[in-house]
Structure 1
Amino acid sequence: MAQYAILAIVLALAAEFAKWREIGRTFFEPRLIEFTILHGLANALLNTALYTAGAFVLGLVLGLVLALMRLSPVAPYRWLATVYIEFFRGLPSLVVFIAFSLLPLAFSGLTIPWSPYGTVWVALGVVGSAYMAETMRAGIQAVPKGQVEAARSLGMSSAQAMRKIVLMQALRLMVPPLTNELIMLIKDSSLVFVVGLSAGQFDLTEFGRSTANTNVNITPLVVAGLGYLLITLPLSMLVRRMEVSRVTGA
């Protein structure tokens, strides 16, 4: 009852002292909401999805390679994968974006295809792969060793047992955390402004910021933030359903 009372008091104070008219004009201006939705929001939403999808595919492939290297009996493979994972998990994503955006200046003649999309895919994919690798390694190790031994007793090679038995069983364990990684990539895609974008290449954050600066009002940035929720909320609900299904065995 005390907690309900505290909550009621906080809400009453907010309703009494908040400048609701000023809040509405600054954050929820109807004219700017309509303008933002009709003039570029769909394109920014599409660009955000493209940036994230390319990075996720690259991170998934590279993460699987790194996970297998971490589990390899060859020590140098394990060392290389460990150094890579710890290095890119320790660096802020913004630093990685800056580094990859400056690569053509550091190495004359170097070009990343389909820029700026290619630059974003590589930078974001490299960061995501370091996290996905650990998720995949944990999923692979969660498969009982008896499954591998049974596959080998049937005449399968180590590679066949990994591909046909282990990965197929580990996939169900890996999907929920990998979906969480996808959500993190969606939010990290807001850093693409570092690589330099034209208006048609803006992601949601850059589009909202640019429109907000032009109109001297925060409303377009709020609308852009709601665009992220339009993507991430269904994914979050999907993750919760998959977790419940995995626990209940449904």
Structure 2
Amino acid sequence: MKPSTRRRLFRGTLYAIFVVAVVVVLLVADWGAIHTNFFNADAAKSTLPDVITTAAKNTVVYTAIAFAGGLVLGLVLALMKLSPVAPYRWVSTAYIELFRGLPALLVIFGFAFAVPIAFNWRPPGGSAGAGLIALIIVSAAYIAETIRAGIQAVPKGQVEASRSLGMSPGWTMVSVVLPQAFRIITPPLTNELVIIIKDTSLLFIAGMALPDRELTTFARDGVSQLANATPLVMAALMYLVITLPLTQLVAYMERRQSRGR
């Protein structure tokens, strides 16, 4: 049998398995129960407009704050890790390894409950503020490594040419290296933004007041009140509305960079 024939048979078998699996799911599923428990029109209407005006809005706001704070702190950490001063490198490396190794949920719980008790500290913004501080701290550890990789990806010839023109090391970093580094890391940074959007769902552990609820907390409360899972579906749709354009943007930028290379 020719290799091309074997490949066609293999693909045909995979298609047949997929079709059989879909048919089995369609036949086995209890569509009445699915409609009643996940796509209940009355339950969906009861989530409107709060799922958009409160939950989705808060999710976007929390994401913007966490990403902006993480980007600033991550840039500082990346520069510290590349610093010729050894203590700066040690502190940055320890920070990055610590908060990349800890679950974000544990960090949020610690800043919402353990840290305020241990240091008699009231976080700004209450529970939501404590959770956001934790998200900033965790996201900064990942963003720092992304920025560091971007800086090191800039050709050394760019730095040498800038220095030969009389630029100081600091000005070379600001005006030559960082702009090129951020151009390189834009796709992974956008991907990190998508991850932060989903990580805002972990803020529920901090306990949110009604006006501060993000999508997951809103959906959980809706399920408890209505004894129906439709609020979860509504929250999932809102997450998709927010994240799908960003994931498509990441794919577009990666294709564009590939063509550029």
- For the superposition of Structure 1 and Structure 2, which TM-score range results when normalised by the shorter chain? over 0.9
Q: Which amino acid aligns with 1:245?
A: R
Deviation at 1:112, TM superposition (A): 2.2
Q: Which amino acid aligns with 2:191?
A: N
Q: State the TM-score, normalized to the length of structure 2.
A: 0.92
Work out whether 1:143 is the aligned partner of 2:154: yes
Deviation at 1:184, TM superposition (A): 0.6
Q: Which residue of 160, 172, 175 corresponds with 1:164?
A: 175
Query: What's the counterpart of residue 152 of structure 1?
Result: 163
- Measured in 1, the distance between the counterparts of 2:162 and 2:169 equals 9
Work out whether 1:81 is the aligned partner of 2:78: no
User: Is contact 2:43-2:230 (8 Å) kept?
Assistant: yes
TM-superposition CA deviations, 1:63-103 (whole Å, max 9, x none): 00111111111111111111100000000001100111122
Moved more, 37-46 or 165-174: 37-46
- Measured in 1, the distance between the counterparts of 2:259 and 2:76 equals 31
Work out whether 1:105 is the aligned partner of 2:110: no
Query: What's the counterpart of residue 215 of structure 2?
Result: 204
- Measured in 1, the distance between the counterparts of 2:236 and 2:13 equals 34
- Measured in 1, the distance between the counterparts of 2:31 and 2:207 equals 37
Q: Which amino acid aligns with 2:125?
A: W
- Measured in 1, the distance between the counterparts of 2:133 and 2:117 equals 16
User: Is contact 1:51-1:120 (8 Å) kept?
Assistant: no
Query: What's the counterpart of residue 185 of structure 1?
Result: 196
- Measured in 1, the distance between the counterparts of 2:259 and 2:162 equals 27
User: Is contact 1:101-1:195 (8 Å) kept?
Assistant: yes
Partner of 1:113, secondary structure, is coil
Query: What's the counterpart of residue 31 of structure 1?
Result: 42
Q: Figure out how many residues of one structure are paired with residues of the other and give that number.
A: 249
- Measured in 1, the distance between the counterparts of 2:101 and 2:138 equals 10
Deviation at 1:220, TM superposition (A): 0.5
Q: Which residue of 43, 49, 59 corresponds with 1:48?
A: 59
Deviation at 1:120, TM superposition (A): 2.5
Q: Which ranges in structure 1 are unaligned for 5 or more consecutive residues? A: none
Q: Which ranges in structure 2 are unaligned for 5 or more consecutive residues? A: 1-11
Q: Which amino acid aligns with 1:106?
A: A
Q: Which residue of 227, 238, 247 corresponds with 1:236?
A: 247
Q: Which residue of 72, 83, 87 corresponds with 1:72?
A: 83
Deviation at 1:121, TM superposition (A): 2.3
Deviation at 1:32, TM superposition (A): 1.1
Query: What's the counterpart of residue 227 of structure 2?
Result: 216
Q: Which amino acid aligns with 2:117?
A: L
Partner of 1:197, secondary structure, is coil
Q: Name which one, 1 or 2, has greater alpha-carbon Rg.
A: 2
Deviation at 1:41, TM superposition (A): 3.5
- Measured in 1, the distance between the counterparts of 2:17 and 2:185 equals 41
Deviation at 1:116, TM superposition (A): 3.5
RMSD: 1.2
